[in-house]
Amino acid sequence: MTDSQQRSGWAGARCIRCFVSGRVQGVFFRASAAHEAQALGITGYARNLPDGRVEVLACGDSAALDTFKSWLHRGPAAAEVSAVACETQDYRPLSDFSTR
């Protein structure tokens, strides 16, 4: 492991890829997810899918990801989340959390 990997917390980090269903587009879900992720030190992205879902890739330490995943089940006030399906993925060193 390199020094930069140790400093970034790489050893304990992981990624999750989630698909959020319900009324999650047009309700500031992606922007709110980015705000939550940045507050938790999570990197990744949120993007709208053509089928109405939002895809979220989130990378960080396990505790932060658990907190973020709980937030995904609620979303912002205007959202109506009906389902969240997540899978664990290999860690990817990303620089920030963006909306696409």
Q: Select which of 7, 17, 30, 47 is catalytic.
A: 30
Max Cα distance, the chain (Å): 43
Helix spans in the chain (H): 3-7, 29-40, 62-74
Q: Give the tokens for residue 67.
A: 């907190």
Q: Is 47 a catalytic residue?
A: no
Q: Select which of 48, 74, 92, 100 is catalytic.
A: 48
Report, as residue numbers or ranges, the catalytic residues.
30, 48
